[in-house]
Amino acid sequence: MSSFNTVQLSDQNFEKDGLRFLTVKSKNLKARGDICFYVPEVPEDTNDLPIYILLHGVYGSAWVWAFKGGAHHTAKRLISESQIRPAIIAMPSDGLWGDGSGYIWHSEKNFAEWIVSEVPLAIRENCTYAGEDSPLCIGGLSMGGFGALRLGALYSKKFKAISAHSAITRFEEMGSFVEESLHSYTLEDDVVNAIEAIRKNKEDLPPLRLDCGLEDDLLEANRTLHSQLKESVIDHIYEEFNGGHEWPYWQKHLESSLRFFDKHCRD
């Protein structure tokens, strides 16, 4: 029996490149939620594949990591080269509130619980290759990087690793991207910045990495977060590379996230 009132799963006869599409009625969104997910070729009796959740940025939806980022192609290549073990790549919508929900509980919708609870549950119930023993990792870009850092820390016991690319680090930075006034978010959570969430769960924090492009407008914010993490004696990896706040950068550096996830799912 499904945990969701309604479920629509794509027909395998029409799927391509291992991508599947799933829509479920979410209690936390109080609406339908979409998930695009990549399923690698594995033996039929597999039931514990890791689930790597990738969160998109503002303006995007469940399709962008695949159809702008080629995440499934990157995963397939790394798997075929034995650089990582097979894993499910789950790419959910953020809930489609305004230009971006921020993956924060607000406006009477729990966008955080949608991601950390309902998305893994929907994958496990609709993909036989995943189960209760499937480890979880979380990553994302820009607003999705913010979501990964914050949710990975606040729900630290759920995740094996956290990775963020070009992340928004403070809720206030959303104002540079969204049309909506930040006051319209009517926040119902007082831990809204990445460093606050990380410090709050410092003792239980999963392995953490983050990177940012040298031409990215969020570079200084990421450097500040890196400094705050060092000051708080929080172990992490921080890297800077050439590039801006753009898909070619994220396409290239997603490999780092997938390798990082694979490493820590082996531990």
- Cβ contacts of 185-188, under 8 Å, gap ≥ 24: 185/102, 185/104, 185/106, 185/107, 186/106, 186/107, 186/108, 187/104, 187/105, 187/106, 188/105, 188/106
State residue 240's pLDDT score. 98
DSSP β-bridge partners for residue 132? none
State residue 266's pLDDT score. 83
Identify whether the C-beta of residue 243 lies closer than 8 Å to the C-beta of residue 214.
yes
Given a cut of 90, whether residue 249 has pLDDT beyond it is yes
Residue type, 115: I
Kindly list the domain boundaries of the chain, sorted by start residue.
Answer: 7-266
State residue 189's pLDDT score. 82
* β pairing state of 51-55 and 136-141: parallel
* Length, in residues, of the chain: 267
Instruction: Write out pLDDT tens, residues 110-159.
Output: 999 999 999 999 999 999 999 999 999 999 999 999 999 999 999 999 99
Separation CA 7–CA 19 (nearest Å):
17
- Full-model pTM: 0.98
Given a cut of 80, whether residue 267 has pLDDT beyond it is no
Separation CA 264–CA 253 (nearest Å):
18
Given a cut of 90, whether residue 186 has pLDDT beyond it is no
Question: How much is the mean pLDDT over the chain?
Answer: 97
Assign 3-class secondary structure to 206-251. Answer: CCEEEEEECCCCCHHHHHHHHHHHHHCCCCCEEEEECCCCCHHHHH
Residue type, 205: L
CATH of 7-266, one of 3.40.50.10860, 3.30.2130.10, 3.30.70.80, 3.40.50.1820: 3.40.50.1820
State residue 246's pLDDT score. 98
* Averaged pLDDT for residues 255-260: 98
* Averaged pLDDT for residues 37-45: 96
